[in-house]
């Protein structure tokens, strides 16, 4: 998943940056006296808009994959009979997913920091956009957890 996310964010970063630079060059070639363009701001806004759509698909796959892998390997019974509560198990999986999400954002932050180092952005709120994507990931994980019932509740209703 990390490789797919890094590839997609790098591809979108390159595509967006190329489009913005070409547009800026066209404006400079055909329009005299055009106002200066905030390339890092435009690229950052467009990239995080695109990455948030990618995350809408990737975060549910990651969170649901955690429980599905436990069932596939047959370790869900071991996990549920361990001397930990279901809340502790879900919190452990929640923090593991958040850590993985932070690693994903750190890898995409490398490209944005390289862009920001070459040109000083005039107020592109990169940290606010990263925290917005991060909170979207947290909310998605909470939604997945709240939509799942514990096996004890499910077995009592059957």
Q: What is the percentage of the chain residues whose pLDDT exceeds 90? A: 2
Give the integer Cα–Cα distance in Å for 62 and 80. 20
Question: How confident is the model over 53-72, as pLDDT tens digits?
Answer: 888 888 888 888 887 888 88
pLDDT, position 156: 41
Give the integer Cα–Cα distance in Å for 108 and 102. 10
With beta carbons less than 8 A apart as the criterion, state whether 39 and 24 touch: yes
DSSP E strand boundaries for 81-126: none
32 CB neighbour count, 10 Å cutoff = 7
Question: How confident is the model over 124-140, as pLDDT tens digits?
Answer: 455 566 666 666 666 66
Find the angle CA(138)-CA(140)-CA(144) to the nearest 5 degrees. Answer: 115
Please give the average per-residue pLDDT across 43-61, as a whole number: 86
Give the integer Cα–Cα distance in Å for 35 and 66. 50
Report whether pLDDT(121) > 70: no
Full-model pTM: 0.65
Contacts of 55 (CB under 8 A, 6+ apart): 133, 136, 137, 140
């Amino acid at each position: 998943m990390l490789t797919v996310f890094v590839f997609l964010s790098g591809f979108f970063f390159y595509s967006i940056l190329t489009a913005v630079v070409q547009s800026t060059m066209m404006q400079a070639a055909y329009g005299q006296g055009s106002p200066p363009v905030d390339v890092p701001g435009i690229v950052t806004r467009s990239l995080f808009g695109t990455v948030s759509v990618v995350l809408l698909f990737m975060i549910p796959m990651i969170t649901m994959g955690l429980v599905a892998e436990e069932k596939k390997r047959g370790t869900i019974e071991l996990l549920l009979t361990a001397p930990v509560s279901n809340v502790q198990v879900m919190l452990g999986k929640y923090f593991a997913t958040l850590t993985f999400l932070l690693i994903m954002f750190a890898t995409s932050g490398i490209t944005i920091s390289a862009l920001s180092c070459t040109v000083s952005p005039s107020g592109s709120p990169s940290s606010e956009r990263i925290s917005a994507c991060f909170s979207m990931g947290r909310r998605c994980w909470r939604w997945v957890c709240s939509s799942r019932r514990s096996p004890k509740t499910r077995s009592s209703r059957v």
